[in-house]
Chain A
């Protein structure tokens, strides 16, 4: 809700989200999106998560 107040300084609110909660069908779509997001996360975590983490080694920067 308050993200909309950002629009004055940010030049953009999140009107889409506001509408989503107002319209039933879109709320459902959003719940589906959340489920599919969790499925996607499962997929990433089940495919060699630990090996990926270990592969990420770099010298320090700055």
Chain B
């Protein structure tokens, strides 16, 4: 597919502590505090927003935002960043209320993937794929890419090895992957989840659900996850099934690749041969290059630069752009300054601070201010994405309905494909085409909303 929609679901870690660092509220109670304004507005902790994203509380009291469907990967990054800001506002409101009540309690939301006990939570990428493309063959051709792309898009971090030693890895999430492909998400967490909910015309589309990704703070890293995977999907859709890249053991490979910071260790292939993670990535990049149009040359260039940073060990470009490299440089610098090793709890605290979405106290936004992390999108574009849906997909329709319904105080029910008003006899409007940006039915629904709002009887 030349034009594809995608979306990103991010689960956030939640902790509420006293000034001394001890836990002030259990996650359930902290989540309740956080979602108070959401429940007040929508009478539910599961709502769609004016920017067409879904905000809800997931299993385990993880606040989650699923972005609207986007067909431009910078739009997607803007929506993802806007989601951070929406949640950061909720945190700030909740913390102000707790302080007012005289409570020694402060909520932190962490856009990361693992807590200190090793519980994992996710950052799930969704890509619309053509149903005709024989979905059964797609994962096989995509897996070697997903296993190795962490050398470019991993969030970086420190893992403890069985011998007690600590080491820096491209992705900590790699240790939480247990299967290549399955329909489960928690029990035996797979790289690709096959749950078939297309949120669109099921005869034409499937939704590819990639759950191997780290939550990325860097706009460049988030953009690369989507822009490069999109190109690889196009390659596979063009008929390439890439049997020569199939790995002997995806899960053994993903853990080995995470630890191989030079990208040079041989990874065993199904054929009995071996390739390094760098060689596998380079092969995908070379294969997709002819499929990239003018506007996508920048994807190829950035992808190549990311691989070169691993190949040469020269981090001068990567250490202010890619999450893992920003973190690697930071951990080294802070470690040397404080005389501590990677196994120090202070490094784990530093890692959490990096993923703290607080716009003032969070480390990532401070790194951006200091020029040590990328700021690609204009602030105004991120601000706009808080209230405005992407205009080139179906999200445009949903966004208008939600925005108007809230503005006119009209009760409504919305999901990814369907919108309706809560009133006797109201008919649902369903839009199955994810690329639709105009609909007479939706226009009629908008007219009803405006009429209902203005026709409200005056209070007696």
- Contact between chains at B124 and A62 (CB < 8 Å): yes
Q: In the complex, which residue of chain B has the Cβ closest to the Cβ of A46?
A: B346
CB proximity to A under 8 Å, residues B327-341: 333-334, 337-338
Cβ-neighbour of A53 out of B11, B60, B345 (below 8 A)? B345
A61 touches B115 (CB 8 A): no
Q: Please, how many angstroms separate the alpha-carbon atoms of A51 and B352 in the complex?
A: 13
Which residues from 358 to 411 on chain B have a C-beta closer than 8 Å to any C-beta of chain A? 363, 366-367, 369-372, 374-378, 381
Q: Which of A8, A11, A20, A53 contacts B381 (CB 8 A)?
A: A11
Chain A residues 8 to 62 lying within 8 A of chain B, measured CB to CB, are 8-14, 17, 20, 30, 33-34, 37-38, 40-42, 44-45, 47-62
Instruction: Tell me the bound Cα distance from A57 to B121 in angstroms.
Output: 12
What chain A residues lie within 8 Å of B345 (beta carbons)?
A: 49-50, 53
- Residues of chain A lying within 8 A (CB to CB) of residue B23: 55
| Known contacts A34-B370, A58-B60; A41 and B20 CB within 8 A of each other | no
Q: Is the CB of B27 closer than 8 A to any CB of chain A?
A: yes
> CB distance B350 to A2 under 8 Å?
no
Is the Cβ of A37 less than 8 Å from the Cβ of B370?
yes
Report B1-28 CB contacts with A as 1/0, cut-off 8 Å: 0000000000101110100111100010
A62 touches B189 (CB 8 A): yes
Given contacts A11-B381, A14-B376, contact A57 B115 (CB under 8 A): yes
Query: Which range contains the number of B residues in contact with the other chain?
Result: 35 or more
**A56-B352, A59-B61 are known contacts. Are A12 and B117 too (CB-CB below 8 A)?**
no
What are the residues of chain B within 8 A of A33 when measuring CB–CB? Answer: 369-371
The one of B116, B338, B376 in contact with A56, judged by C-beta atoms closer than 8 angstroms, is: B116
Interface size class of A (residues with CB under 8 A): 35 or more
B390 to chain A, nearest CB (A): 13
In the assembled complex, B289 has its CB within 8 A of some CB on chain A: no
Asked whether any CB of chain A lies closer than 8 Å to the CB of B416, the reply is no
**In the complex, chain A residues whose CB is within 8 Å of the CB of B298:** 5-6, 8-9
CB pair A48 B370 closer than 8 Å: no
Give which listed residue, B27, B110, B366, contacts A37 with CB less than 8 A. Answer: B366
Cross-chain contact B346 with A58 (CB below 8 angstroms): no
Find B378's partner among A2, A9, A11, A51 (CB 8 Å cutoff): A11
Are B122 and A38 in contact (CB-based, < 8 A)? no
A45 and B122 contacting across the interface, CB-CB below 8 Å: no
Q: Does B415 contact A (CB under 8 A)?
A: no
Q: A residues within 8 A CB of B321? A: 3
Q: Which residues of B contact A12 (CB under 8 A)?
A: 375-378, 381
- Given A55-B22, A57-B116, 17 extra CB contacts under 8 A: A6-B302, A8-B298, A9-B298, A11-B381, A12-B375, A45-B350, A48-B20, A50-B346, A53-B348, A56-B13, A56-B15, A56-B115, A57-B115, A58-B115, A60-B60, A61-B62, A61-B120
* Chain A nearest CB, measured from B454 CB (Å): 37
Asked if A47 and B21 sit within 8 Å, CB to CB, the answer is yes
Q: How far is the CB of B301 from chain A (nearest CB, A)?
A: 7
A14 near B346 (CB under 8 angstroms)?
A: no
Q: How far is the CB of B25 from chain A (nearest CB, A)?
A: 10
Instruction: Please provide the chain B residues from 409 to 437 with a CB less than 8 Å away from any CB of chain A in the complex.
Output: none
**How far does the alpha carbon of A60 sit from the alpha carbon of B117 in the complex, in Å?**
10
Task: A54 to B274: give the CA distance in the assembly, Å.
Answer: 41
Chain A residues contacting B367 (CB-CB under 8 Å) are 37
Does B119 have its Cβ within 8 Å of any Cβ on chain A?
Answer: yes
Is B64 part of the contact surface with A, judged by Cβ < 8 Å?
A: yes
Q: Which chain B residues border A2 with CB–CB below 8 Å?
A: 301-302, 305, 317
B43 within 8 A of A: no
- Nearest-CB residue, chain B, relative to A60: B119
CB–CB A51/B58 < 8 A: no
Judge whether B203 is part of the interface by a CB distance below 8 angstroms.
no
Nearest CB of B to A51, in Å:
3
Specify which chain A residues have a CB less than 8 angstroms from the CB of B350 in the assembled complex.
Answer: 41, 44-45
Q: Mark B63-88, 1 if CB is under 8 A from A, else 0.
A: 01000000000100000000000000
Q: Which residue of B lies closest to A56 (CB)?
A: B15
Residues of chain B within 8 A (CB-CB) of A30 are 370-371
- A14's contact among B121, B349, B370, B374, by CB below 8 Å, is which? B374
Which of A9, A34, A47 counts the most B-chain CB atoms under 10 A from its CB? A9
Contact status A56-B110, CB under 8 Å: yes
- Closest B residue to A57 by CB, please name it: B117
CA distance A53 to B355 in the complex (A): 13
